[in-house]
Structure 1
């Protein structure tokens, strides 16, 4: 039996969609990509990987904010 993690499937779809040329995208296509990315974020947020990404981004933002002062 083949099982596919939905988050991994969405990540692959996002990568494939973002590799396309910008000029070839319609507004509906761009909106669909945004919805997919938001769904991926919702799936990743409660996981340990999502928490790690949040911590890294928080450290990056605080470092940039301190460097700006």
Structure 2
């Protein structure tokens, strides 16, 4: 039996959509990409990977804040 993780599938779709040329995208296409990225974020947020990304981004933001003082 083959199972596909929805988050992995959405990540692949996002990568494929973002590789397309910018000027060949319609407004609807851009909005659809945003919706897919938001759905991917919602799926990743409660996972350990999502928590790790949040922690990493928090450390980067803290470092930037400290460096700007």
For Structure 1 versus Structure 2, the TM-score category normalised by the shorter chain is: over 0.9
Q: What does residue 8 of structure 2 align with?
A: 8
Q: What is the root-mean-square deviation in Å for CA atoms of aligned residues?
A: 0.4
Give the C-alpha shift of residue 62 in structure 1: 0.5
- Give a deviation string over 1:28-49, Cα, whole Å, max 9, x none: 0000000000000000000000
5+ long unaligned stretches in structure 2? none
Deviations 1:11-65 (A, max 9, x none): 0000000000100101000000000000000000000000000000000001001
Give unmatched runs, 5+ long, in structure 1: none
Query: TM-score scaled by structure 1?
Result: 0.98
Question: How far 1:9 sits from its partner (Å)?
Answer: 0.1
Structure 1 stretches of at least 4 aligned residues deviating more than 3 Å after TM superposition: none
State the aligned residue count.
69
